[in-house]
Amino acid sequence: MKGRKRSGKQIALLCVLVFLMGILQGCGTTEENFDNIPLTAEEETDIGFKNVTVHDPSIVKDNGSYYIFGSHLAAAKSQDLMNWSLIGSGVTKGNPIIPDAMNEMPEAFEWAKTDTFWAPDVIRLKDGKYYMYYCNCEGSSPLSCMGLAVSDSIEGPYSDKGIFLKSGMAGKSEDGNPYDATKQPNVVDPCVFYDADGRLWMIYGSYSGGIFALEMDENTGLPLQPGYGKKLLGGNHLRIEAAYVQYNPDTEYYYMFLSFGGLTSDGGYNIRVCRSRTPDGPYYDSAGHDMIDCAGPGGSFFDDRTAEQYGVKLIGNYKWTWQEGEDGKNRRGLVSPGHNSTYFDEETGDYFIIFHTRFENMGENHEVRVHRMFFNEEGWPVISPYRYAGEDPEAYEEKAVPGRYKLLKHGRQITTQMEESVNITLYSDGRVEGACTGSWELSEDHHIKITLGEDTYEGIVCRQYDEFGKKYVIGFTALSEDGEAVWGSGLAAIE
- In tens, the pLDDT along 217-268 reads 999 999 999 999 999 999 999 999 999 999 999 999 999 999 999 999 999 9
* Segment 80-118, tens digit of pLDDT: 999 999 999 999 999 999 999 999 999 999 999 999 999
Tell me if residue 56 is catalytic. Answer: yes
* Segment 160-199, tens digit of pLDDT: 999 999 999 999 999 999 999 999 999 999 999 999 999 9
Region 290-309 average pLDDT: 97
Tell me if residue 175 is catalytic. Answer: no
Q: How confident is the model at residue 31 (pLDDT cuts 50, 70, 90)?
A: low
Report whether pLDDT(12) > 70.
Answer: no
Task: Give the per-residue SS3 of the chain.
Answer: CCCCCCCHHHHHHHHHHHHHHHHHHHHCCCCCCCCCCCCCCCCCCCCCCECCCCCCCEEEEECCEEEEEECCCEEEEECCCCEEEEEECCCCCCCCCCCCHHHHCHHHHHHHCCCCCCCCEEEECCCCCEEEEEEEECCCCCCEEEEEEEECCCCCCCEEEEEEEEECCCCECCCCCECCCCCCCCCCCCEEEECCCCCEEEEECECCCCEEEEEECCCCCCECCCCCCEEEECCCCCCEEEEEEEEECCCCEEEEEEEECECCCCCECEEEEEEECCCCCCCECCCCCEHHHCCCCCCCCCCHHHHCCCCEEEECCEECCCCCCCCCCCCCCEEEEEEEEEEECCCCCCEEEEEEEEECCCCCCEEEEEEEEEECCCCCEEECCCCCCCCCCCCCCHHHCCEEEEEEEEECCCCCCCEECEEEEECCCCEEEECCCEEEEECHHHEEEEEECCEEEEEEEEEEEECCCCEEEEEEEEEECCCCEEEEEECCCEC
pLDDT > 90: percent of the chain = 91
Tell me which of 56, 308, 326, 419 is the catalytic residue. Answer: 56
Region 293-298 average pLDDT: 96
pLDDT > 70: percent of the chain = 94
Q: How confident is the model at residue 45 (pLDDT cuts 50, 70, 90)?
A: confident
Tell me which of 121, 174, 241, 419 is the catalytic residue. Answer: 241
Report whether pLDDT(437) > 60.
Answer: yes
* Segment 369-410, tens digit of pLDDT: 999 999 999 999 999 999 999 999 989 999 999 999 999 999
